[in-house]
């Protein structure tokens, strides 16, 4: 799966456009796996986040490494083994792989940020009904009219690709969507959760 990444930093866009929500989650909207890959799960992974802001890149990579450490899976943040001011490139990644001998590279980048307007129809919310005149009267009078309204949603789509470091071939790819992320950190956490879950299902990470 090859999708052209937008150059504008997702972390800047979220800071401006995100709507506050009680819970932030990510859901897969597209997923692919190389069925010919049968070498088993990876256990030494280079984590790469593509972001214009160094702090956002560090946060994503660090959080991912910490999450994998909980399952005793060895992983390294790209910023820890290459200069902060160097945007991860093919040459930089190949050099690091050669020196440290990772068996996989996981790269996450922005696919797009869309704003959609959804209409919520008007509703009537009744009070509790009773079998009596006064109960009925209160019941009818208790209807509360809630007018319809338009709500804008911010949809953030991220793509994660997993490559076999030895063959440099794509093994797995997934696009995920997060609706109205309440913060950058919650967006990162949601993305990591769904990626780890799907990689275990696909047997590309050691199962619990």
Reported as a single tens digit per residue, the pLDDT across 177-189 is 888 777 788 888 8
Q: Is residue 107 over pLDDT 90?
A: yes
Its pTM stands at 0.71
Give the three-state DSSP class for 4.
Answer: coil
Give the per-residue pLDDT at 98: 81
Domains and CATH numbers, the chain: 10-115+153-201 (3.40.50.10610)
pLDDT band at 11 (very low <50, low <70, confident <90, very high): very low
pLDDT in tens, 80-106: 988 656 567 788 888 888 888 899 999
- Does residue 133 surpass a pLDDT of 70? no
């Amino acid at each position: 799966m090859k999708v052209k990444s937008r150059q504008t930093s997702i972390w800047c866009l979220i800071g401006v456009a995100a709507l506050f929500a009680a819970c932030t989650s990510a859901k897969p909207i597209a997923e692919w796996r190389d069925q010919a890959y049968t070498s088993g799960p990876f256990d030494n992974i280079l984590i790469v986040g593509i972001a214009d802001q160094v702090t956002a890149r560090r946060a994503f990579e660090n959080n991912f490494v910490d999450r994998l450490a909980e399952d005793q899976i060895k992983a390294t943040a790209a910023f820890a083994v290459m200069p902060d001011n160097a945007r991860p490139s093919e040459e930089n990644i190949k050099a690091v792989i050669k020196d440290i001998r990772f068996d996989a590279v996981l790269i996450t980048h922005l696919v797009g940020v869309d704003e959609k307007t959804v209409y919520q129809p008007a509703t009537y919310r009744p009070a509790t009904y009773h079998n009596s005149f006064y109960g009925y009267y209160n019941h009818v009078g208790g209807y509360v009219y809630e007018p319809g309204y338009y709500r804008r949603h911010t949809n953030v789509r991220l793509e994660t690709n997993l490559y076999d470091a030895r063959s440099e071939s794509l093994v797995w790819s997934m696009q995920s969507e997060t609706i109205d992320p309440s913060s950058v950190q919650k967006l990162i956490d949601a993305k990591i959760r769904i990626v780890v879950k799907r990689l275990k299902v696909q047997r590309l990470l050691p199962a619990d």
